[in-house]
Structure 1
Amino acid sequence: MTYFMYDAMGEEIDEPDEAQIRSLLAEISSADEEHPDVSLQHESGWSLSVFPDRFVRWQNVESAQSEPVDATLSSWDDVVGLLLMTARGETDEVTSALAAP
């Protein structure tokens, strides 16, 4: 396994494909305070969390020195694109995309 995703209830899904990722994103439209997001984590430790308003948090959850990067994306397709890049381990590309104005 190279990546996994947590659904809105915290259940782990191993290596979801794009259709499954889109389905998991649809679940967060009814998110509550206890379960506000879904996230995808790559084996490298990098994780992308997604909230109902397309707000994302990018961080290396295995590094105490890593500061999270927050952004609000303009479309759900952009969110899916970043999740797929994370799944492929394209961490530099995700970091660059979130740093762009």
Structure 2
Amino acid sequence: MYDVVGGTIDSPDAETMRRVLDGLAEADDEHPDVSLSHESGWCLSAYASGLLVWENAEDNTVHPGEMHEVGRDEILRLFGLLAAGDIGALDGLPWRR
């Protein structure tokens, strides 16, 4: 997981993910998001505006998906799914591509 200033957190638990997401209050133009990556290459990036981006950094044939105005609790839930490796549940969501 990457916090808002680019710091790395290995294997974050739910409380750590919550704290990292809280760090979006300090987001700026240079550091606009926090993200969680899975060993499969899938990544969720969350922005203070409620934008959530779902992408696979290792597979350029898959277009990134977006959701807008996603609430904090839902972002935490989705981070939890990614941390657990539930790629299918995440990929099945209504992403705008």
TM-score (norm 1): 0.89
Tell me the percent identity.
36
Could you say which residue in structure 1 is the equivalent of 2:34?
38
- Provide the secondary structure at the position in 2 that maps to 1:89: coil
Aligned pairs (5 A) from 1:3-18 = 5-18=1-14
Q: Which amino acid aligns with 2:93?
A: A
TM-score (norm 2): 0.92
Aligned pairs (5 A) from 1:5-84 = 5-84=1-80
Query: Which aligned segments of 4 or more residues in structure 1 are displaced greater than 6 angstroms?
Result: none
Structure 1 position 97 matched with structure 2 position 61: no
Which of the two has greater strand per residue?
Answer: 1
Report the aligned-residue RMSD.
1.4
How many matched pairs? 96
Gaps of 5+ in 2: none
Gaps of 5+ in 1: none
